[in-house]
């Protein structure tokens, strides 16, 4: 896996790792929350990836995962808990947004939160090659 800096704000996720462009990190990224991208064993003819973000302290209702225009967007916003009287506060409640650009044909199939890790499953099925007959009209 190769990481190269990119001038945009979105990370690019592809299955093609031949040219080093599979995983790109934007300039100015603060690295929060940290994440992993792993290739999983193919299943039922589909290539699979898992994106895992370390989101300790977030509840599932404080996280949002959406796909919009070939972008996987993950947002987190912790709700301030007023009933807590902190003697020391070392765990910041901070917002974040991570954007991953996903290539055509990739589908987000699910997300799960366990032990402070948000895991998002992505699949790409073998492309279906359609043959379509085009009728030729004759000008009279």
Q: How far apart are CA 32 and CA 23, in angstroms?
A: 16
**27-73 tens-digit pLDDT:** 445 688 999 999 999 888 888 999 999 998 899 999 999 999 889 99
Q: What is the pLDDT, as a whole number, of residue 16?
A: 55
Contacts with 109 (C-beta within 8 Å, 6 or more apart), sequence order: 121, 122, 123
DSSP state of 87: S
CB 109 within 8 Å of CB 65: no
Q: How far apart are CA 24 and CA 134, in angstroms?
A: 40
Strand order in the sheet with 23-26: 3-6, 23-26, 11-13, 96-102, 71-76, 63-67
Q: What is the pLDDT, as a whole number, of residue 7?
A: 33
Asked whether the whole model's pTM tops 0.85, one would answer no
């Amino acid at each position: 896996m190769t990481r190269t800096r990119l001038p945009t704000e979105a990370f690019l996720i592809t299955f093609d790792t031949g040219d080093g462009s599979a995983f790109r990190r934007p300039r100015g990224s603060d690295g929060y929350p940290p994440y992993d991208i792993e290739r999983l064993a193919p299943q039922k003819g589909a290539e699979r990836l898992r994106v895992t973000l370390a989101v300790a302290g977030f509840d599932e209702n404080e996280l949002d995962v959406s796909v919009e225009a070939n972008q996987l967007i993950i947002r987190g916003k912790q709700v301030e808990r007023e009933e807590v009287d902190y003697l020391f506060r070392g765990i910041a409640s901070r917002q974040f947004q991570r954007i991953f650009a996903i290539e055509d044909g990739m589908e987000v199939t699910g997300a799960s939160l366990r032990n402070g890790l948000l895991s998002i499953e992505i699949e790409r099925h073998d492309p279906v090659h359609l043959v379509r007959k085009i009728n030729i009209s004759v000008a009279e």
